[in-house]
């Protein structure tokens, strides 16, 4: 993939159509892969497959390694005779087909997985044991989830002292053996279904681009298991500093993410073993891995834990090439995309150059009428992944509506839009197509379009608004919506601009 000119579509698994409250790894995912291949797309980019937080965000997960059980397909469970059709029927979703319902999906999958676990035969038990041996992280994750269930989802630092501290909790682990085994089983099922789907995609010539959040949640198995790798007060278990970004394009107060920061000095002592393990696991999941907020490896924004906004932080030096030299040695074939957006600096530029990883370009960021932005397609290098927009951006039609008159005029002129009704949406939107084609003509080896922009949707279809925590991550498309995409058009531009191979 590194040396071949190609294109792809950005759409999360959760946004697929289907009957179970959220997109799954079942038949609808395979149908989507078939559509991509038929249009000449060679990449499908998804958001992180980790469990989400209670707002549906996959960037604040209880595990950097685990898969989201909401994506498990009930019909696949039935085909494999873990459960019956009678088990499934009460869990068909009756809500809106245009929104993902994470709470319903989690509740229903847990119920179905418990039924499957109770009926598990010895052959499955042995396969599950092999899976656990091959994935050393899963035992501690499953134990953490068993304890989390015991404490009714309270965060680990509010648990009894004998459980909040891993070194003590490990001594009483057998008390929670059956529940621990259940959560190992859920991951065995997730990874079995995902491996099958990924193999199907590969057979169709479609690679999977995954997404790795740089930080993990404080309330996660990772932090509970390895407190010493994070900036945490050992006596109080409180965070000392937290992650975020300073004021930028998305927010005048910056973004206060609140994730624990890494203790890079401690991580370096064993050659960044935790990061090597994490990247290795991700590269098994995906063909390519996009690392979110890559710039934090060069320098990161550290905010005092008691701050109310991200304004009061400071830049601190990250691990830089010390880390990626170890990655190169351990994972020489690692295909990594660096999300290098946001606040820039010479240290980030140097790290990208030294690592050789492709950076990102987003055409929406380029339309300053008086500037010559690196995000304008004529400035793209081959070693770049170019986007119409990311999960954090407005749709292109929504952006055109919200842009200033000067920005919009420049964008339409730059993209050679010759029509008279730029505000018209839908699958044949001329203004959206003009922007897509401008990006497709660029030198960037990889060009990515969000599914929303293939359909000409407005801003009500965007995936996330950074700095807010309500009504995000819920966008979902119907099968009828997919049918309205002009497949012949996308096959044509992939052919004309040599992004089909």
Catalytic residues: 292, 339, 392
CB-based contacts of 331, cutoff 8 Å, min separation 6: 276, 279, 280, 283
Asked if residue 244 lies in contact with residue 215, where contact means CB atoms within 8 angstroms, the answer is no
| Beta carbons of 375 and 414 less than 8 angstroms apart | no
Rounded to whole angstroms, how far apart are CA atoms 11 and 93? 21
Question: What is the CB neighbour count within 10 angstroms for residue 378?
Answer: 11
What is the distance between the alpha carbons of residues 353 and 242, in angstroms, rounded to a whole number? 28
Question: In what side-by-side order are the strands of the sheet with 299-304?
Answer: 255-260, 241-245, 299-304, 314-317
Find out whether 8 and 91 touch, Cβ atoms under 8 Å: no
| Helix, strand or coil, per DSSP, at residue 467 | coil
Beta-strand pair 241-245/255-260: antiparallel
Helix (H), strand (E) counts: the chain: 20, 12
> What is the Cα–Cα distance from 38 to 160, expressed in whole angstroms?
55
Q: Where do the H-state alpha helices sit in 369-429?
A: 396-402, 405-414
* Selection from 141, 130, 154, 219 nearest residue 180 by Cα: 141
Write the DSSP assignment of 161-179 as a string of letters.
HHHHSHHHHGGGGGGGHHH
DSSP assignments along 53-91, one per residue: -TT--TTS-S-SS---GGGS-HHHHHHTTSS-HHHHGGG
Distance of CA 471 to the CA centre of its chain: 17
Q: Are the CB atoms for 244 and 301 separated by under 8 Å?
A: yes
Q: Could you tell me whether strands 43-45 and 6-10 are parallel, antiparallel, or unpaired per DSSP bridges?
A: parallel
């Amino acid at each position: 993939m590194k040396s071949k000119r190609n294109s792809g579509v950005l759409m999360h698994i959760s946004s697929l159509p289907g009957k179970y409250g959220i997109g799954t790894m079942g038949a609808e995912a395979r149908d989507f892969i078939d559509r991509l291949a038929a249009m000449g797309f060679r990449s499908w980019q998804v958001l992180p497959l980790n469990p989400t937080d209670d707002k549906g965000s996959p960037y604040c997960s209880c595990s950097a390694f685990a898969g989201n059980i909401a994506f498990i397909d009930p019909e696949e469970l039935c085909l494999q005779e873990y459960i019956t059709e009678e088990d499934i029927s009460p869990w068909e979703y009756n809500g809106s087909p245009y929104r993902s319902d994470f709470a319903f999906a989690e509740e229903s999958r847990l119920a179905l997985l418990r039924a499957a676990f109770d009926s598990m035969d010895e052959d499955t038990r042995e396969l599950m044991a092999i899976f656990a041996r091959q994935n050393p992280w899963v035992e501690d994750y499953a134990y953490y989830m068993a304890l989390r269930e015991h404490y009714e989802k309270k965060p680990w630092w509010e648990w009894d002292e004998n459980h909040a501290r891993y070194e003590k909790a490990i001594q009483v682990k057998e008390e929670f053996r059956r529940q621990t085994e259940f959560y190992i089983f859920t991951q065995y099922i997730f990874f079995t279904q995902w491996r099958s789907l990924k193999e199907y995609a590969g057979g169709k010539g479609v690679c999977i681009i995954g997404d790795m959040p740089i930080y993990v949640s404080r309330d996660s198995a990772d932090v509970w298991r390895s407190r010493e790798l994070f900036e945490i007060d050992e006596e109080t278990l409180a965070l000392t500093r937290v992650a975020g970004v300073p004021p930028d394009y998305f927010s005048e107060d910056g973004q206060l993410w609140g994730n624990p920061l890494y203790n890079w000095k401690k991580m370096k002592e064993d050659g960044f073993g935790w990061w090597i393990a994490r990247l290795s696991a991700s590269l098994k999941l995906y063909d390519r891995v996009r690392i979110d907020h890559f710039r934090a490896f060069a320098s990161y924004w550290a905010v005092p834990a008691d701050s109310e906004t991200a304004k009061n932080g400071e830049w601190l030096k990250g691990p830089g090439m010390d880390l990626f030299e170890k990655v190169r040695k351990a994972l020489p074939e690692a295909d990594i995309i660096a999300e290098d957006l946001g606040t820039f600096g010479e240290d980030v530029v140097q790290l990208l150059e030294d690592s050789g990883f492709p950076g990102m370009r987003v055409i929406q960021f380029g339309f300053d009428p008086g500037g010559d932005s690196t995000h304008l397609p004529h400035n793209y290098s081959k070693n770049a992944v170019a986007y119409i927009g990311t999960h954090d951006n407005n749709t292109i039609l929504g952006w055109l509506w919200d842009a200033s008159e000067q920005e919009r005029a420049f964008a339409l002129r730059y993209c050679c839009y010759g029509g008279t009704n730029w505000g018209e949406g839908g699958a044949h939107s001329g203004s959206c197509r003009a922007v897509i084609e401008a990006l497709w003509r660029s030198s960037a080896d990889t060009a990515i379009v969000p599914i929303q922009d293939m359909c000409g949707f407005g801003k009500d279809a965007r995936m996330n608004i950074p700095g807010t925590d309500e009504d995000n991550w819920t966008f979902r498309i119907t099968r009828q919506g997919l049918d309205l995409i002009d497949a012949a058009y996308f096959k044509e531009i992939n052919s004309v601009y040599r992004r089909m191979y």
